[in-house]
Chain A
Amino acid sequence: MSTILEVKGLGVAFGGVRAVDGVSFDVREGSITGLIGPNGAGKTTVFDIATGFTRPQHGEVRFRGRRIDGLPPHVIARRGIGRTFQVIRLMPRLDATNNLLVAQRDQVGERIAGALFGDWRRQEAENRRTAQGILERVDLTHRKDVAAGSLSYGQQKLIEIGRTLSLDVDLILLDEPMAGVNPAMRGQILDLIHRLNEEHGKTFIIIEHDIQMIMGHSDDVIVLDHGKEIAQGPPQDIQNDPRVIEAYLGVGHDEEGKP
């Protein structure tokens, strides 16, 4: 399988803190890749760099072979990388359908001339059908006219994932999709991820603290600690990697702080 995302020697510091410090990894196209690590390991920062919200000071990011680091977020999104956020970011006062519609590409009616004189209604009708399809896929058709802010937490997470489908991207970065979601909804989200992966060939990178979930559902796992990637490979290798165990459980230290 070919590489869809290639990260090489990535580094960024905020003030004196090296949030990401020489991270390199490859993500295979069509895979579900878990990105794990203790709090503050730099996982979200890697996402922010890959989607253009943070500019890296070192290293490069390639998407399908083309460099994307330093490009503005909207350009990267149009190239084909979608994401969700650790704290849900929907348009709370727009309804579920419009949250999906707004993500559609190349809308004639988004240009002033197009809005005034263009025939955007035909495209809009088509986009509505697409949105309808996405709502069916995430099983939220019955909530289509509800303001996104009034949806349940889990439903909001589903709409956020649905929005990346509306944007029609190949690589989807999910930042803690399971956090704070009830078990039934977790199952629904996992199901959705697998279906999108298998049936539509979407590649996922998932940040998650639930190690069991990551080990059970990803093809590859990347482990970050203190801004560095410390391990990378199939889940069964990662589980037994001493560096990973050390990062998560720590090792015994004596009083001088030496291992």
Chain B
Amino acid sequence: MILGLATDQLLELLWVMGIFSILSLSLNLVVGQAGLFQLGHVGFFAIGGIMTVYGTHADHLGLDLLAGILLGMAVSALCAVVIGLPTLRLRGDYFAIATLGFAIIVRVILEGYYIQGVYNIPPLNPFGHPIPFQTTVIGVTVGWRVIELLFVLGLLAVVYLFLVRLDRAPFGRALRAIREDEVAAQALGKNVMAFKLKAFVVSAMLAALAGSLYVHHLRVFDPSAYDFNLTILILVMVILGGLGSHQGAVLGAVLVTILNEVAKQLSGGVGHDIDAAALNNLLYSGLLVLLMVVRPQGILGDRDLRLMDRLFGRFRRRPGEDG
């Protein structure tokens, strides 16, 4: 028991942190590194969710979990190409509005088809053999949830390392250069459109991955959950941690999850005087205002702390970073 949370609740909290971390890391690639103000990330999160449901649900294709996840990522990538080709040519605010529109269209379509939600979604079970879910034996329930959590955290680690590796390579430097000055980057022979599209597609695929994990864990798909508030929530995570910083994205996801939980605990649950959602909004807006005043670049700024390098006494700067 920590802070009055049962083990189950704690596992759930860690799990949400894992999913949100993947989500904010993926948004950071586009917003933080490439400097594209994307407001439609939740659309790809939803596409990943519904496509894996379509792929794995017994009423539809009935594929394996892994196939479902890959289907979600593939469809999301395809959508990103279709959306990205026309909209990535737009400048700043117009791109933000266009992607926001995309997310709303996705939600409206999904609500049209699945207004009641989808139930009985196969569990997040990477091993494929049946696991007793409905068991009342606490030990078994906890045991399985730990495996599920480790699976998500393992994927989070892979996503993190993947994005850091991209960022430290010349690819990351080119993205940052485009963020700094698109015209100059073109004059230096960089195919700006291609770089933006690559970042956009990779980001959409990772959002779809998070979306798949999310629905397989909840085992319910509710289209109304993918609303504008969730878009803002992901954006808050990235901005809070520091645009462009991977550690910042994870830190932001962790902080926002804790904040959500605090709001829930403070409001005392359903049926009490204080509305948890309203309290949440109050906390976020307060935090963002405070951030803008005290530390506009976010907690970590636009870089990662080089803990490993410091520990081992190596000093290696990544390309695209000033001294």
Contacts and interface: CB of A to CB of B under 8 A. Distances in A.
Given A74-B192, A98-B321, A167-B189, A93 B169 contact: no
B177 A91 contact: yes
Interface centre among B170, B188, B323 (most CB of A within 10 A): B188
Interface centre among A52, A102, A109, A115 (most CB of B within 10 A): A102
A28 B191 CA distance: 29
B170 A74 contact: no
A145 B323 CA distance: 5
Nearest to B202: A112
Interface in A161-208: 163, 167
Interface string A71-100: 011100110001101000111111100100
Given A51-B187, A83-B187, A92-B180, A112 B166 contact: yes
Q: How large is the interface on A (under 10, 10 to 19, 20 to 34, 35 or more residues)?
A: 35 or more
Interface residues of B, number: 31
A107 B169 CA distance: 10
Given A92-B180, A110-B171, A147 B188 contact: no
A95 B180 CA distance: 12
B247 to A, nearest CB: 18
Contact of B166 (A73, A115, A124, A147): A115
Contacts of B184: 85, 89-91
B165 interface: yes
A89 B176 contact: no
A148 B171 CA distance: 20
Contacts of A51: 187
Given A91-B176, A102-B173, A112-B166, A167 B320 contact: no
18 contacts: A74-B186, A90-B184, A91-B176, A91-B180, A91-B181, A93-B302, A94-B320, A102-B177, A102-B188, A102-B319, A110-B169, A112-B166, A112-B171, A112-B198, A116-B162, A124-B170, A146-B323, A163-B188
Given A116-B169, A145-B322, 10 more contacts: A74-B190, A90-B180, A93-B180, A101-B173, A102-B173, A110-B171, A112-B202, A120-B170, A124-B319, A167-B188
Interface of B: 162, 165-166, 169-174, 176-177, 180-181, 183-192, 198, 202, 302, 319-323
Closest 10 interchain pairs by CB? A115-B169, A145-B323, A109-B170, A91-B180, A77-B189, A147-B322, A109-B169, A89-B184, A73-B186, A95-B322
